[in-house]
Amino acid sequence: MSAFNIVLALHNIIRWIVVIGGLIAALRAIYGWLAGRPWRALDNQLGLLFTVSMDIQALLGLLLYVVLSPITTSSFSDIGGAMSDPGARFYLVEHIAAMFVALVLAHAGRSLAKRAKDDKGKHMRAAIFFTIAMLLVLALIPWNRPLLPG
């Protein structure tokens, strides 16, 4: 098995941690905000799980993007051609740009939630930023790839 296949399989597995962890963190934050629930240690831990899994996913994605992926490495040699090919453009520009924005939003949401003065503010900030991050993640995951590695 090649390094590309191993890293791609890991990237695929971590995707599910990001999706499940991010959805739980966002939904719990929305519920906490709307129901006026107290901010608990679990809320902070879910935000941490979401951001750390996004960080790991980003590192694996960058390794694929810059070094291992035959799609992006061939696209770099002919950027004009890649931009006219929707599949190549997706991986070369759209996927990485959206995921970078989602990563920044997830971190911003966690940081701003920790700094909020009250529980409602913590939940509100986490809800807004985690939800937008998750919408980007869900919109730009290549769902045409196998759902599980193998």
Q: What does the pLDDT look like over 105-123, one tens digit per residue?
A: 999 999 999 999 999 999 9
Question: Does residue 150 belong to any structural domain of this protein?
Answer: no
The pLDDT confidence band at residue 1, using thresholds 50, 70 and 90, is confident
Token pair for 74: 């061939």
In a domain, 147, yes or no: no
Tell me the three state secondary structure of residue 134: helix
Residue 149 has pLDDT above 90, yes or no: no
- The residue among 40, 44, 146, 60 whose CA lies nearest residue 103 is 60
Determine, yes or no, domain membership for 148.
no
Indicate the number of domains in the chain. Answer: 1
Provide the whole-model pTM: 0.93
Q: Whole domain around residue 24: which residue ranges? A: 3-140
Q: Determine, yes or no, domain membership for 102.
A: yes
**Spatial separation of the C-alpha atoms in residues 96 and 61, rounded to whole Å:** 8
Please report whether residue 145 resides in a domain: no
